[in-house]
A and B are shown apart, each in its own frame.
Chain A
Amino acid sequence: AQKITQTQPGMFVQEKEAVTLDCTYDTSDPSYGLFWYKQPSSGEMIFLIYQGSYDQQNATEGRYSLNFQKARKSANLVISASQLGDSAMYFCAMRYTNTGNQFYFGTGTSLTVIP
């Protein structure tokens, strides 16, 4: 069975500091994609960053980077220089290419940025 695990229900970070949000996954499929989404209190899911299972380099998008360790099946999100607006729920998700491209989401991590 496919599974995404986020073990940190809540995280706090000081403004301007970096924070790492953990995500591990379980799959036997060789082809998959890993995504991170941000969900503010307004409820809308916002795409942040993508990592493909065959990508050789870790993905980066502005202040977001993905620490992809394929052998350990982890895809941690690193947010650098945290801002107050980063306070939100963060979801890790995986898409399984070989099974109709369904998305499976983790349970999320609530991030609070402290001024």
Chain B
Amino acid sequence: EAGVAQSPRYKIIEKRQSVAFWCNPISGHATLYWYQQILGQGPKLLIQFQNNGVVDDSQLPKDRFSAERLKGVDSTLKIQPAKLEDSAVYLCASSYHRGMGPETQYFGPGTRLLVL
């Protein structure tokens, strides 16, 4: 079974530029999560999708971040314009249902973003 795929793996941009990250979850997984992990910290949930609907985006900086999952499968996270403090690893994860009980999330390899 293929795991969660993310691209690109690395990205370097200048501040005020735009960037987009792509995630393809495990086949059949209804729930998709985007996390931001700043160096030395634990992952912070940015947005959670259930199929193509948003379950939680309370910690997404909506003035510059946006995400979509149009067909309930793969997803795109965009930052426009980027700031220095957006430098982090962006992790995508998926789970089969809504993450009930012992069901865990499965994480992708992440995208390392550096904003100069």
Contacts and interface: CB of A to CB of B under 8 A. Distances in A.
Interface string B99-116: 111101111111010000
- Chain A, interface size: which category? 20 to 34
Contacts of A35: 104
Interface stretch (B36-44, B64-72, B75-83): B36-44
A102 B48 contact: yes
B101 A102 contact: no
Contacts of A91: 42-43
Q: How large is the interface on B (under 10, 10 to 19, 20 to 34, 35 or more residues)?
A: 20 to 34
B42 A105 contact: yes
Most chain A CB atoms below 10 A, which of B89, B93, B105 = B105
A97 B33 contact: no
A97 B100 contact: yes
A103 B45 contact: yes
A45 B43 contact: yes
A43 to B, nearest CB: 5
The 10 closest A-B pairs by CB, nearest first: A105-B42, A45-B107, A47-B104, A50-B102, A101-B99, A43-B110, A105-B43, A44-B109, A100-B56, A100-B55
